[in-house]
Structure 1
């Protein structure tokens, strides 16, 4: 990074006692730096995108004669590596067309704000999205909203799979269809709609019911992430167990979104984290015997289906881009009738689990 500048979203300010706060007020992004001598504040002020790193170091030494060059360099390098600083040189990678730069400008601003990984330019997350291949299984309430969000965000390829046709009762929550689509295969209507959302995305689809783990494993080939938005078959040997095992065998992370009345959740699984079956076992052990933990059922609004799909898409985007870096193996969500109820569940792997556990 030749000419560092502080990201505008992370403009620093000074607090009492000499502390510098950087990163804004967003929980999980902001940091406080003890700066009684003012070195950090001066360095940040010099990082306006017009000076090279060596000039910032020299300026810090001039302003604070007590600072050695070694100390000044350490301060500057730490700030450059913090993620709150970007290059003052606008870099547009050749992989993005002028139209894509215009289309994804708001994506770029979001990633620049949320990403604390030092990068050569702020377009790297978008390039990762463009290269991503996502398998979307299930095109109902959750899947429709997830598919729209992924296409709008600019994933490179999106393959949509669903066995059903559009019914009138779907129209209360399934965003990809309207009254003219009733009776059509969902996969056909969804592909047509998503191609209109973003013609730069390769959207394909098939009307198909996945009936076994082996069929799901075959579908996974060539994809980077699975967005599981289907809920059948249910039960201890259902589609989520198929996904858990097929994705583990393929080394592919997966996201499963769902809802149960007002409770909306998403689970994120993959290499390096607790698998679905271990997390489920941990939750079953915590709950009273007989308490169901399956999500789904007829109780749903457009809002709960929409949140479920958006949470799913957001997790997929995070896995693909690394913004933020996620450690898989958790479920998170919200309760729409209780604003104080935030769902966040993690459990340790079961000893001996063939997918994620420690050897017994």
Structure 2
């Protein structure tokens, strides 16, 4: 890092006891530093984008008693590696045009705020999104909202898949369609509307009903992430159903995937990547062991409105974006969500992989 500078939204504060806090405390990304000699506070004060790390080390050694040069270098290195500091000399990369800077500037500000991984420049997350290809399977309540969010955020290539036509009953929750679309193929309308939303990315689509692992395997070829927003066909056990097919096909293909859904007011999303936590089947089996035998754990059903479908789709899109950008770090191997009529009920499901599970194995 040539010219370290504390991120504007991560302004440090020093407490009366000498402790230093840096970062967005209200966002849950703050760091607290014990600083009895004042070296960390001095370094942060000097990190204004006009000095090199060596300049900062020399100034600390000359102004803060009791701190040696190796200690000062360690302080500066630790702060640079904390994610609260950016390089003031970094330029916007050539991959991001002036039009894209305008279009995605607020997205860049979001990523820059919450990202605690040192990056070569502040636009890395947007560059990763621009280079990514995502398949959205299912364009109903969850899928239509997810596809819209991914297109708006700038995912470079989105492939939409659905075999259904628009029906009047869809219009209470499916954001891409209107009354004039009734009877038309969802995928045709989705591609048309998403292209009008963002002409700078590639939107493709096909009318296809996935009926087995072979068909799903063809879909995820050359795909970075699968957004599974379809709940049909359903399975009767751990060996059946489209979620199980996605679990096995994506693991074998090395493709991470996200699945979301709703059941009345309960909205959840699961994020899975081989070698990073339990797979879908391990989570379902682990949760089945934890719950009473007569208490089902599946998602899906007729009870849904625009709000629950929208939250479901946005959670799916957020999980997909986190897999692509690593901002925030993806919560793989988990189900998470919320209950719209019980604000205190937060869904957080995590179980260890089953011994010998071939899907969870890191490789092979």
TM-score relative to the length of structure 1? 0.97
Deviation at 1:90, TM superposition (A): 4.5
In the alignment, which residue of structure 2 is the partner of 1:339? 343
Distance 1:239 1:211 in 2: 8
In the alignment, which residue of structure 2 is the partner of 1:143? 143
In the alignment, which residue of structure 2 is the partner of 1:255? 258
Deviation at 1:190, TM superposition (A): 0.3
Q: Is the counterpart of residue 67 in structure 1 residue 91 in structure 2?
A: no
Distance 1:320 1:182 in 2: 34
Distance 2:106 2:57 in 1: 33
Counterparts of residues 120-159 of structure 1 (less than 5 Å)? 120-159=120-159
Deviation at 1:16, TM superposition (A): 3.0
- Provide Cα deviations, 1:148-174, integer angstroms capped at 9, x if missing partner: 000000001000000100111111110
Deviation at 1:328, TM superposition (A): 1.4
Counterparts of residues 83-122 of structure 1 (less than 5 Å)? 83-122=83-122
Q: Is there any run of 5+ residues in structure 1 with no aligned partner, and where?
A: none
What is the DSSP-based 3-state SS (H/G/I as helix, E as strand, rest coil) of the residue aligned with 1:334? strand
In the alignment, which residue of structure 2 is the partner of 1:219? 219
Aligned 8 A contact 1:351 1:358 in 2: no
In the alignment, which residue of structure 2 is the partner of 1:270? 273
Distance 1:87 1:358 in 2: 35
Counterparts of residues 173-252 of structure 1 (less than 5 Å)? 173-235=173-235, 236=237, 237-252=240-255
Corresponding residue pairs, total: 359
Deviation at 1:26, TM superposition (A): 3.3
In the alignment, which residue of structure 2 is the partner of 1:33? 33
- Provide Cα deviations, 1:221-245, integer angstroms capped at 9, x if missing partner: 0101000000001122100001001
Query: Which 10-residue stretch deviates more, 252-261 or 16-25?
Result: 16-25
In the alignment, which residue of structure 1 is the partner of 2:160? 160
Aligned 8 A contact 2:90 2:120 in 1: no
Counterparts of residues 348-359 of structure 1 (less than 5 Å)? 348-356=352-360
What is the DSSP-based 3-state SS (H/G/I as helix, E as strand, rest coil) of the residue aligned with 2:56? helix
What is the DSSP-based 3-state SS (H/G/I as helix, E as strand, rest coil) of the residue aligned with 1:255? strand
In the alignment, which residue of structure 2 is the partner of 1:57? 57
Deviation at 1:127, TM superposition (A): 0.6
Deviation at 1:52, TM superposition (A): 1.2
Deviation at 1:326, TM superposition (A): 2.2
Deviation at 1:353, TM superposition (A): 1.1
Deviation at 1:259, TM superposition (A): 0.3
In the alignment, which residue of structure 1 is the partner of 2:9? 9
What is the DSSP-based 3-state SS (H/G/I as helix, E as strand, rest coil) of the residue aligned with 2:233? coil
What is the DSSP-based 3-state SS (H/G/I as helix, E as strand, rest coil) of the residue aligned with 2:25? coil
Distance 2:274 2:362 in 1: 14
Distance 2:225 2:26 in 1: 28
What is the DSSP-based 3-state SS (H/G/I as helix, E as strand, rest coil) of the residue aligned with 2:26? coil
Q: Evaluate the alpha carbon distance shift between residue 249 and residue 45 of structure 1 in structure 2; reply closer, same or farther with a 3 A threshold.
A: same
Aligned 8 A contact 1:137 1:226 in 2: yes
1:300 aligned residue (304, 311, 315): 304
What is the DSSP-based 3-state SS (H/G/I as helix, E as strand, rest coil) of the residue aligned with 1:26? helix
Distance 1:193 1:336 in 2: 29
Deviation at 1:23, TM superposition (A): 1.1
Distance 1:330 1:228 in 2: 15
Distance 2:53 2:362 in 1: 46
Deviation at 1:185, TM superposition (A): 0.3
Distance 1:358 1:323 in 2: 22
Distance 1:89 1:300 in 2: 49
Cα-Cα RMSD: 1.3
Deviation at 1:55, TM superposition (A): 1.2
Distance 1:95 1:225 in 2: 21
What is the DSSP-based 3-state SS (H/G/I as helix, E as strand, rest coil) of the residue aligned with 1:233? coil
